[in-house]
Amino acid sequence: MESKRRFRLGQEAYVRYGQLLNDYIYWLRNYRNLAEDTVISYRRYITIFLNWINYYLHLKKLSSLSHDNTETFFLRYSDNHEFGSREQMQSALRVFLRFCFKQGYIKRDLSLAVPTLRTYKLARIPHIIAEEEIQKILDHIDKKTKVGRRDYAIIQLLTKYGVRSKQIRKLRLTDIDWRKNQIYFPSMKFGKDILQPLMADVGEALLDYLQNGRRKCSYPEVFLTVNGPCKPINSPCIIYSIITRRAHDAGVNLPKAGPHVLRHTFATRMLERGHSLKSVADMLGHRCLQTTFIYTKVDFQNLNNVALDWPEEES
């Protein structure tokens, strides 16, 4: 199965499908007007698909792709990936196959061949890690280096506010109000804006990074690349890599790789400390309480504490 972290077409695949992929990306940007994050995500998943049909099916032309080939790829991919990745591959693949049909690359609309995987509302349990393990990750970061200061500030924000990776990447210098001691995160996924007090340890981490780690440039975004040309962190893969690498270096085994485990942990800890579901929803930027319900399923220890004794049988 093609590795889910391989995002470039192989040499043979590029010769056969490179122009098709470029046309598809151009179409997403200029005709579908999709957000750049979505374009990057779709490109990543379709690259996996094109590499697969090239190396496993040896297709010389996309027109040879069949209903069975498409279904086989998706089912094999689903067997090796979690729900979120399966769902994104499903969406990206259907859009790509519709594009190929409309542009004449394939003879039939094979988007109908991508199976619909049955899911159940609130069926999944959020992945969380212990607070001690989060602290272990933070303590292991070398804050004397520029990249260390940046990564430390990013993980502090993810941990203390439970925000999304994209909210970290889109955070601007003007979103931090030092005088009022507040920090603002714009809404994501049709949720609500988040305005919270700037915690002391987070403020110190941000100030250290801005004064001693951030490269001097005119970009308004807070977090920038450390090496190469100076630019904002636009790819979600960079935040994913930061969390995964820092956890690995600290010897912490994440139940699920990437930054979302810190968001799940944040929400779960809030409920454990007695905050209402409405408060958790507000902190996470959820517009609908139903989105937050999943976090009510994880506190098994407290459920054990309130369990009733089994009544003895009367003779």
Amino acid code (one letter) for 132: E
Is residue 164 flagged as an active site residue?
yes
Is residue 263 flagged as an active site residue?
yes
Contact (Cβ atoms closer than 8 angstroms) between residue 29 and residue 39:
yes
Catalytic residue among 17, 105, 152, 295: 295
Burial class (CB in 10 A: 0-12, 13-18, 19+), 30: exposed
Q: Kindly report each contact of residues 28-35 with a partner whose C-beta sits within 8 Å and lies 24 or more positions away, as own/partner.
A: 28/95, 32/95
Is residue 295 flagged as an active site residue?
yes
Catalytic residue among 43, 160, 263, 269: 263
Query: How many angstroms separate the Cα of 42 from the Cα of each of 38, 91, 94, 101, 116?
Result: 6, 8, 10, 17, 18
Catalytic residue among 98, 192, 260, 297: 260
Catalytic residue among 164, 170, 246, 264: 164
Catalytic residue among 189, 231, 245, 287: 189
Is residue 260 flagged as an active site residue?
yes
Is residue 214 flagged as an active site residue?
no
DSSP 190: T
Token pair 């809404």 is at which residue?
Answer: 187
Measured between alpha carbons, how far is 72 from 69 in angstroms, rounded to an integer?
A: 5
Question: What are the catalytic residues?
Answer: 164, 189, 260, 263, 286, 295
